[in-house]
Structure formats: C-alpha cells, structure tokens
Structure 1
C-alpha cells in the first residue's frame, strides 16, 4: 500500500492481491500505522493527522525493509517489479 498526496488530498493506493493474503497484509499495515503513529501521538485536527500520515508514509515506503519483498523497501520492490514487467 502506498499513501500519496495529490490535488490537496491524501489518498491510499491499494495494490491488487487476492483473498486471505490481501486481508492479512492490510491488517498488518494498519497495525503498523497504529503502533508507529496513532497510538503514540495525539492529533488536534484532521489536517494534523493527514500531514503526520504523509510524513510517516515516506520512511515506510523508502526505508523499511519487508521480508515479503525479499528485504527490499516497498519503493524498491515496486521499481524492481516495473523493471521486470518492462523487460
């Protein structure tokens, strides 16, 4: 999953997966957001929450190594997938 900002609004982009695998990955992603952001901070406004989510999403996508991506970050895994599809 990837959080993007476009047109002044944050939008969650979901990649296609099927069934139980998708449900468990989405549940794990939501748990990670809760543990790393929502349970440790308080937000006065929805705008403050939106900005915090965008700030949180960048290091998650660029630097967190995930086992399911062979210990690549989500951004690295997407780049490699695009290269394989282009070949």
Structure 2
C-alpha cells in the first residue's frame, strides 16, 4: 500500500472512530488500515473513539462511553491507547 493511501486510510479510520461509525471502522480495518498508526496530528484511533465520552483514559472511556462497540473493534484489531 502506498504511503499516501495509508495516510488517507488512517485519517478516515480516526474520523470514523471519533464519530462511532463501527461499520466503517470494520471496513477500513479489513481494507488494511492500521489501528496503531496515529493521525498526522497525533490522534490515535482509541483516543478518537473516546473524544465524545467523558474522559479518564482513552481506552477506558472509549470502552465504557458512547462508542464502546467501536473501541472493541479497534482493540480486537490491535489498537492500544
């Protein structure tokens, strides 16, 4: 996969995680998006999934907040806080 495509997938993955779009997160992961690669601004997928929660750690709030299913999909794909 080209560097440009990988960067675009990462941006889409972080945005989908932020919005709690679990179906899109799954599709991007199947297409090869890496949940460990941060967005160019440093945002990780689990942080993105926790943004709309009420925060402790990104992993905790993504898992227990409004995007718990999205966080579970990301964790299963190897994402870490």
TM-score between the two structures when normalised by the length of structure 1: 0.35
Larger strand fraction of residues: 1
**Structure having the higher Rg:** 1
TM-score between the two structures when normalised by the length of structure 2: 0.37
